[in-house]
Amino acid sequence: MGDDILNRGLEGIRVAETRLSDIDGEAGELTIGGYSVDELARNATYEESVFLLFHDRLPSPDELDEFRADLAGQRTIGDEVRAVLRRAADEDKPAMDALRMGAAAANLGAGAEDPEADARRVIAVFPTIVATYWRYREGEAPVEPREDLRHAANYLYMLTGEEPDDPAVRGLETYLNTVVDHGLNASTFTARTVVSTESDVVSAATAAVGALKGPLHGGAPGPVLDMLRTVHERGDPEAFVREKLDAGERLMGFGHRVYRVRDPRAAVLSAAASEFYEDAGDTEFFESVKAFEDVAVDLLAEHKPDRRLDTNVEFYTAALLDGVGIPKELFTACFAVSRVGGWTAHALEQLGDNRLIRPLSTYVGDHDRSWTPVVER
């Protein structure tokens, strides 16, 4: 390929080999660590998913106990980090800003560590950072993490101060497994780029948070929830969708950069949300969500027959996370609580066979300018 070929956004350019995840956008399939996203998400704990990404195999019972205990023992953050999070909450900073600030300080008090130890530490403290910020934001004291709870259960516990019930934990754990890795997306590429300079994993994760914060990547599950609630209350999904399309507005929760069919993660989260709402005895809202999806997909195909705009991961993320008790202001930060497992796994993979990531650019400026002294300009 010649240097004069321009691929904006690196679209279609392959820059790494990975065993972590594989996306088939045409078939609508996602493989994580060799398992279909459906099989992994339904069966694994989050700790098992991360171990799989780190070691390319599922852990033995003893290995899982050790891995889980190691993560649980590193959940506490120091007073300095709490002070920053309190300041962020007092100034009404978004959750992703607070997470970026906390992530940058993740290795305070941790001493000199190797890359995998840094990765474990970052994964362990992300839920604590988000929950601590939220508690301050709500005018409440932070809840100390509990080492006897699994990763997902402890996150919910720190948010509320109450031990969560099994349906909520299973629903959140399914979500965390579903979005733990997804190819070389912008934030994952950012993490790999940072460690390719032989920087550290904490810096890579912090940079990845900054990339995820952007609305073109982090998505809009919060506004999707507002949309779902509005449609549920109005009871007329067809009128809502036609109103949006006639106004030339984008219908959130539909369409994806990679998938040309329904996002396979939407199928997993739809099933998980259905199970959760059934257990909770609140099927009315979820039935309206499913009816809205059917109407929206049909009308989008009618309105834009040349484009495939099927349901993406944001649509059922909103319904599921709201159900299990995650505030909508934390939806993107919750995404990061999961995806940090993928970010750090990619960072370790990059370091295992590293080459500095250094793409080219096409220069479109002038040449041969002559300098004019400032007094003559």
Q: Where are the domains of the chain?
A: 31-214+334-352, 221-324
Name the residue among 72, 115, 332 with its Cα closest to residue 225.
332
Cβ pair 324, 156 in contact under 8 A: yes
* pLDDT computed for residue 1 by the predictor: 45
Please tell me the distance from the alpha carbon of residue 23 to that of residue 25, in angstroms, as a whole number. 6
Long-range residue pairs from 146-151, CB within 8 A, at least 24 positions apart, any chain: 146/72, 147/69, 147/72, 147/73, 147/75, 148/72, 149/72, 150/45, 150/46, 150/47, 150/68, 151/45, 151/46, 151/47, 151/68, 151/71, 151/72, 151/127, 151/176
Residue 306 pLDDT more than 90?
A: no
pLDDT tens digits for 14-66? 899 999 999 999 999 999 999 999 999 999 999 999 999 999 999 999 999 99
Where residue 238 falls among pLDDT bands split at 50, 70, 90?
very high
What is the rounded CA–CA span in Å between residue 294 and residue 312?
13
Alpha helices in 113-263 (DSSP H): 115-137, 151-160, 166-178, 186-196, 201-213, 215-218, 221-234, 237-246
* 163 is a catalytic site residue: no
How many helices (H) and strands (E) in the chain?
17, 3
Rg of the chain, C-alpha, whole Å: 22
Q: Which residues pair with 21 in a beta bridge?
A: 32
Whether 314 is catalytic? yes
Whether the pTM exceeds 0.85: the reply is yes
The pLDDT of residue 112 is 63
Q: Is 9 left (phi over 0), alpha (psi -120 to 50) or beta?
A: left
Average pLDDT, the chain: 94
In the predicted structure, residue 9 carries a pLDDT above the cut 90: no
Give the separation between CA 111 and CA 11, rounded to whole angstroms.
39
Answer CATH for 221-324 from 4.10.410.60, 1.10.230.10, 3.10.310.10, 3.40.50.720: 1.10.230.10
Taking the CA atoms of residue 119, residue 122, residue 124 and residue 130 in that order, the dihedral angle to the nearest 10 degrees is: -160
Strand intervals (E) in 222-344: none
Region 280-298 average pLDDT: 93
Give the active site residue among 47, 173, 314, 349: 314
Q: Of these residues, 256, 293, 346, 349, which one is catalytic? A: 256
CATH topology of domain 31-214+334-352: Citrate Synthase; domain 1 (1.10.580)
The pLDDT of residue 187 is 97
Q: Which is more confident, 269 or 360?
A: 269
> To 5 degrees, how large is the angle CA 211–CA 214–CA 218?
85
